[in-house]
Chains A and B, each alone.
Chain A
Amino acid sequence: MVVGDASDEQLMRRFQEGDRVAFAALMRRHLGPLYQFIARHTSPGPLAEDLSQEVFLKVVERARDFKHESRFSTWLFTIARNLCIDTLRKQAHRAHASLDEPDAEGVPLGEQVRDEGPQAGERAAQSREVGARIEAALRALPEEQREVFLLREVANLPFQEIAQITGAPENTVKSRMRYALERLQEALRDFEEVARSLR
């Protein structure tokens, strides 16, 4: 079986049997969403990188405990969420870095958005401004709404899995998601036209 065609669970079984290539495939498949989830849950930069690495190390350490009773992505993001919560608790005494405050690498979060298009100048500036506004609105969300939003939009997990990860009923998860969407929409109402013009 080609690694790329295999499901997460098939790759995990192969890794549990000692296939390191399968682990590498799993890691590359989930690293992007995982990093985005962690970076937006905590803060981007070295901390998110370290936490991403820590998540996969835990996957390796606990691989034999994974009984395939849930999907691999559910398990992976459960580990990630718990790590994020623990880290945030430890850092509770520290002030959260402002979006406008440069991170360790000196780049504000709002300016770390990938600039994929060839457009430059005003369009790129507007895009960065919308991105920064979205990030700010996201950070302003209550914790439980933010994590549901991230798991849904960033990790692309179905509501049933999000309910397993957060330990909340599925209907509650959906309610949180709806509230999150409505709040974000409210926060971005001023930029509605700008966003439309960008897309």
Chain B
Amino acid sequence: MDCEGFDEIVLDLLYEDEPQGQATDEARRHAEGCPRCAAALASLQQARVQIELPSLPVPPGLAARILTEVEQRQQQEQSSWWGRLDRAISLLGSFAMRPQTAMGALLVLMTGLSLVLLRAKPAERGTVRITEHGIPAPPSPVSAAPEKKAIEMPSRKEEERARAPGAEAAPAGAPRDNTDPPAATQAPAAAPLPTPRAEVAAATTAAAEPAGKSDRPAPEPSQEATFTAAMEHYKARRYGDAMRAFDIVANGGGGNSGVAALYAARSARYSSGCNAALPRFDAIANRQVGSGAASEATWEAALCYREMGQGERAKQLFLTLRRVAGYRDRVEKELNAMEQRGAKEPAGAAAKPASP
């Protein structure tokens, strides 16, 4: 070790608080043989002795004062809501800053997103089976049964009551021609065309049935209430509100969902026209094959197509309905009328139907 190296380490020798290692041993040996460095070390050791600072006594009572102040400060902090909030945030922050917490949160987020994005479609929509003839096949008795029960058709007495003048089931001022919404006068004797009141009654009846009698679970009370409210909107011609409420019931998947979907489609037709309603009618006809709601949706769709000037498509749907009991006479009448007019009504002439 040279003198420069000694100078770097001389304070470690002086205070001896560092772990003494090879370097300090070398420095000591160097000082023994180097008068300059030995004098420097001796001078510093002498200075330490000379400069020893006299002790300043801690003022009496300072320790007690500090402890008292600390105690008071802690009590204030604990009693103040801000202090508690501060501690809670600090605690949460210390947890949140942990990598494990971040990874856990990421995992939960990804799982939640997966559930949202990959969840199955509601089972109530069912499947559409297509026959060799290219038309939807009638549902099997097992699968059709609950649907038929859910859309319980009104009895002949109810229908006649609904046909009576001023019946509440038909919206006031309903038009009387075939383009009209489902007015009681248009319903064939055996047509599965439920009037609002009858449908409400049917839905209520279905809900009141014991669980053992129905394959489909009874609708929840809230759905029933929504359905009733929707029907009230419909009667009052608030078709926008009615459509939204019927959509809620239809998407809820209860016993009234089929009827609600049909009325939602009708509401869409009266509020926004055939363009908005047709996809809904088509969807009902395809999803609820063989049900009264599907037949009625097909009928409504056919009328819409006819009004929009798509005669061929309308005719196709009318022909489909000709095989359904209760529609034959109406269909024949419509087909005859179309033939007479040559199915040449201008497109869009009646795209916006008259208010019911």
Could you list which residues of chain A lie within 8 angstroms of chain B, going by C-beta atoms? 20, 23-24, 27-28, 31-32, 35-36, 39-40, 44, 49, 52-53, 56-57, 60-61, 64, 112-114, 116, 127, 131, 134-135, 138, 152-154, 158-160, 171, 174, 177-178, 181-182, 184-185, 188, 191-192, 195-196, 199
Determine the chain B residues whose CB is within 8 A of the CB of A135 once the complex forms. Answer: 53
Does B17 interact with chain A (Cβ within 8 Å)?
Answer: yes
Which residues of B are in contact with A by a Cβ distance under 8 Å? Answer: 8, 10-12, 15, 17-18, 43-44, 46-59, 62-63, 65-67, 69-71, 73-74, 90
- Measured CB to CB, the nearest residue on chain A to B68 is A53
Q: In the complex, how many angstroms separate the beta carbon of A122 from the nearest chain B beta carbon? A: 17
- A53-B62, A182-B47 known, 7 other contacts, Cβ within 8 Å: A36-B55, A52-B62, A61-B73, A114-B54, A182-B44, A195-B49, A196-B50
CB distance from B181 to the nearest CB of A (A): 71
A57 touches B69 (CB 8 A): yes
Residues of A within 8 A of B63 (CB): 27-28, 31
Cα distance A181–B43 in the bound complex, in angstroms: 10
- Specify the chain B residue showing the minimal Cβ separation from A187: B51
A174: B residues at CB distance < 8 A: 8, 11-12
Residues on B with C-beta less than 8 A from A32 are 58
Complex CA–CA separation, A28 to B12 (angstroms): 29
Q: How far, in whole Å, are A27 and B63 apart by their CA atoms in the complex? A: 8
A44 CA to B47 CA, complexed, in Å: 25
Q: How far is the CA of A158 from the CA of B55 in the complex (A)?
A: 20
Which residue from B49, B56, B71 sits with its C-beta under 8 Å from A40? B56
Task: Given A53-B66, A53-B69, check contact A185 B46 (CB 8 Å).
Answer: yes
Chain B positions within 8 Å of A36 at CB level: 53, 55-56
- List 24 interface pairs A-B (beta carbons < 8 Å), by A numbering: A31-B63, A35-B56, A35-B58, A36-B56, A57-B69, A112-B56, A112-B57, A114-B54, A116-B55, A134-B51, A135-B53, A154-B53, A158-B15, A160-B18, A174-B8, A178-B44, A181-B47, A184-B51, A185-B50, A185-B51, A192-B50, A195-B49, A195-B50, A196-B50
A residues in contact with B11, CB < 8 Å? 159, 174, 177-178
CB-based contact B54/A134 at 8 Å = yes
When C-beta atoms are compared, the residue in chain B nearest to A110 turns out to be: B54
B273 to chain A, nearest CB (A): 67
| Candidate in B47, B56, B69 with the most chain A CB atoms within 10 angstroms | B56
- Residues of B contacting A114 with CB < 8 Å? 54-57
Residues of B within 8 A of A138 (CB): 53
* CA A154 to CA B52, docked complex, whole Å: 9
Which residue of A has the minimal Cβ distance to B72? A57
Nearest-neighbour CB distance to chain B for A80, whole angstroms, equals 13
Q: State the CA gap A116–B43 with chains docked (Å).
A: 28
Q: Choose one: B8, B54, B67, B71; the contact of A131 (CB below 8 Å).
A: B54
What chain B residues lie within 8 Å of A112 (beta carbons)? 56-57
Q: Please, which residues of chain A bring their CB within 8 A of the CB of B43? A: 185
State A114–B57 Cα separation when bound (angstroms): 6
Query: Which listed residue (A35, A49, A64, A171) contacts B8, Cβ 8 A?
Result: A171
CB pair B49–A44 under 8 Å, yes or no, is: no
Interface residue from A57, A113, A159 paired with B55 (Cβ < 8 Å): A113
- On chain A, the residues within 8 Å of B54 by CB distance are 113-114, 127, 131, 134
Contact B73 A60 (CB under 8 A): yes
Task: Output the least CB separation between A53 and chain B (Å).
Answer: 5
With A53-B69, A131-B54, A152-B15: A178-B10 Cβ-Cβ less than 8 Å: yes
Nearest residue, chain B, Cβ from A153: B53
Q: Contact: B58 with A181, CB < 8 Å? A: no
